[in-house]
Amino acid sequence: MKPAPFRYARAGSLAEATALLAAGHGETKLLAGGQSLVPMLNMRLVRPAVLVDLNGVRELEGIEPTPDGGLQIGALTRHAALAASPAVRERAPLLAAAARHVGHAAIRNQGTLGGSVAHADPAAELPAALVALDAQLRATGPRGTRVIPASEFFRGLLTTALEADEILTGAHVPAQEPGWGFVEIARRPGDFALAGVAAVVCSASDSPSRVEHARLVGFGIGDRPLRLTGAERLLAGAALDAQTAARAGAAAGPDCDPPDDVHGSADYRRHLATVLTERALLQALPRLPRRR
The ranges assigned to domains in the chain are 7-53, 59-173, 179-287
Strand order from edge to edge, sheet including 28-31: 7-10, 50-53, 28-31
* Whether the domain at 7-53 and the domain at 59-173 fall into the same CATH topology: no
| CATH architecture assigned to 7-53 | 2-Layer Sandwich (3.30)
Beta bridge partners of residue 65, listed in sequence order: 71
Say yes or no to pLDDT of 207 above 90: no
Q: What beta strand segments (E) does 105-194 contain?
A: 136-141, 144-149, 154-156, 159-160, 167-173, 179-185
Q: State mean pLDDT over 155-179.
A: 96
Residue 292 has what pLDDT?
A: 46
Beta strand 136-141 pairing with 167-173: antiparallel
What is the reported pLDDT for 246? 98
Which pLDDT band, with edges at 50, 70 and 90, does 291 fall under? low
Higher-confidence residue of 206 and 73: namely 73
Q: φ, ψ for residue 73 (rounded to 5)?
A: -125, 125
pLDDT of 204 reads 87
179-287 placed in CATH 3.30.390.50: yes
- pLDDT-derived band at 209 (thresholds 50, 70, 90) equals confident
The fraction of the chain above a pLDDT of 70, given in percent, is 99
Tell me how far apart the alpha carbons of residues 262 and 115 are, in angstroms, rounded to a whole number. Answer: 26
| Average of per-residue pLDDT across 154-163 | 97
As its CATH architecture, domain 59-173 has 2-Layer Sandwich (3.30)
